Amino acid sequence: MRLMISGGGTGGHIYPALALIQRLQERHLLDEVLYVGTANGLEAKIVTAAGIPFETIEIQGFRRKLTLENFQTIAKFRRSLHRAKALIKEFQPDIVVGTGGYVCAPVVYMASRMHIPTVIHEQNSIAGLSNKFLGHYVDRIAYVFPEAAHQFSEKKKLVLTGNPRAQAVAKLQPQGLLAGLGLRTDLQTLLIVGGSRGAAPLNKAVIAAIPEFSEKSYQVLFVTGQALFDQVNDQVGPLTEKTNIKIVPYLDRMSEILPEISVLCGRSGATTLAEITALGIPSILVPSPYVTHDHQNHNASYLVDKQAALLLPEIELNGRSLVATADHILLDSEEWQQMHQAALRMATPDAADQLITVMQELIRAKR
């Protein structure tokens, strides 16, 4: 299979693409792959670091308000179509897959116009603008959350696959990473993380909660985010006597530590939810109120409705509410077990394989 794949802007669009590529390689189904992104996007760093062939397109997203900049966006989109066409002609893909973000719009659209099989993958409960646009042209629309399916009018194209990232994480085993951080392996562990950049409101609540956390029978691994680590360290002061708390700026092997985690507290991006449900990790979700269409709140609500997570809105977040919510799960073994099983029931451990099946069917139909 010759695969051209495009997605960018956030890890939620990039990591499912990488998981799909990884699974194709594991199954020896991938002859060649080309990832198309933007030169300045997060994908440029992540994809090239993974050793995957990478080409760029110059494009930008639309502003939601009527501005002159949107005319520049239209002009760039037209130019990006020519670039996409050239890349497609040169690479000759069997199929083109888009995983979201504005960069995939010209690539997938042009592939559809050139009668190449196309698939988009929507990871969130609220479909992004690019995927809504592409839904009219692609052959298949893969999705994760049932709510997303209602936002596409082309019902015959829809296929529920889950998030390929889940399959990549489901097979992970404990590697003793907690011990490497100086934490115990025989205690329940609460991981608190607001993303690579951190989340200031979440960090503020954790700082306020540390005196209470230090007295608990469980331990806390607090990931502040690179940019906020020094600020947190200055406010917390020395923790030499609080052996059940570890504060770090970031974990390069974040997903690999998850099999050793009892509860996760953090944002509710698509990748995070795919990972924790794959491993059956109960969660305390603090949706970011700053994302487009409030999609993190919709993502979180789906897990909460299935009793796999507890919702802690940022407006209600403080040290006391954080500790109380953590205690509710970690100090009640029956509650933890029920949430663990609920999360596992939501898991899609064969998500990448399901998406691959869709791709293979389209390629065969074309031939």
CATH number at residue 362: 3.40.50.2000
The pLDDT value given to residue 147: 95
Binding residues: 10-12, 124, 196, 296
Q: Shortest CA distance to 103 belongs to which of 2, 195, 198, 17?
A: 17
- Token digits of residue 48: 């090239």
- pTM, rounded to two decimals: 0.91
Q: Give CA 293 to chain center in angstroms.
A: 16
- Token digits of residue 360: 């293979």
Let me know whether 66 and 118 are in one domain. yes
Let me know whether 324 and 242 are in one domain. yes
- What is residue 38's three-state secondary structure? coil
List pLDDT tens digits, range 106-129. Answer: 999 999 999 999 999 999 999 998
Q: Are 311 and 301 in contact (CB under 8 A)?
A: yes
The pLDDT value given to residue 132: 94
Cβ density class 242-278: b for 16+ within 10 Å, e for less: bebbbbebbbeebbebbbbbbbbbbbbbbbbbbbbbb
Let me know whether 179 and 250 are in one domain. yes
Let me know whether 145 and 285 are in one domain. no
* Residue range(s) defining the domain that contains residue 111: 2-163+349-366
Q: Amino acid identity, residue 322?
A: L
Let me know whether 125 and 229 are in one domain. no
Let me know whether 200 and 115 are in one domain. no
Let me know whether 183 and 133 are in one domain. no
Place of tokens 């990039």: 14
Burial (0-12, 13-18, 19+ Cβ within 10 Å), 176: exposed
Q: Are 314 and 285 in contact (CB under 8 A)?
A: no
Let me know whether 135 and 20 are in one domain. yes
Let me know whether 78 and 224 are in one domain. no
The pLDDT value given to residue 214: 92
- Token digits of residue 9: 């802007």
- Number of compact structural domains in the chain: 2
Q: Shortest CA distance to 23 belongs to which of 365, 253, 358?
A: 358
The pLDDT value given to residue 73: 60
- Listed in sequence order, the residues at least 6 apart from 186 whose beta carbon sits closer than 8 Å to its beta carbon are none
- Helix/strand/coil (H, E, C) string of 67-126? CCHHHHHHHHHHHHHHHHHHHHHHHCCCEEEECCCCCHHHHHHHHHHCCCCEEEEECCCC
Let me know whether 314 and 175 are in one domain. yes
Query: For residue 193, what are the β-bridge partners?
Result: 223, 266
Q: Amino acid identity, residue 55?
A: E
Q: Amino acid identity, residue 304?
A: V
Residues belonging to the chain: 367
The DSSP code for 284 is E
Q: Shortest CA distance to 286 belongs to which of 267, 271, 306?
A: 267
List pLDDT tens digits, range 286-316. Answer: 999 888 778 999 999 999 999 999 999 999 9
Q: Are 263 and 283 in contact (CB under 8 A)?
A: yes
Binding residues for UDP-N-acetyl-alpha-D-glucosamine: 10-12, 124, 196, 296
Residues of the chain whose pLDDT is less than 70? 60-76, 238-242
Q: Are 304 and 310 in contact (CB under 8 A)?
A: yes
Let me know whether 265 and 311 are in one domain. yes
Let me know whether 38 and 150 are in one domain. yes
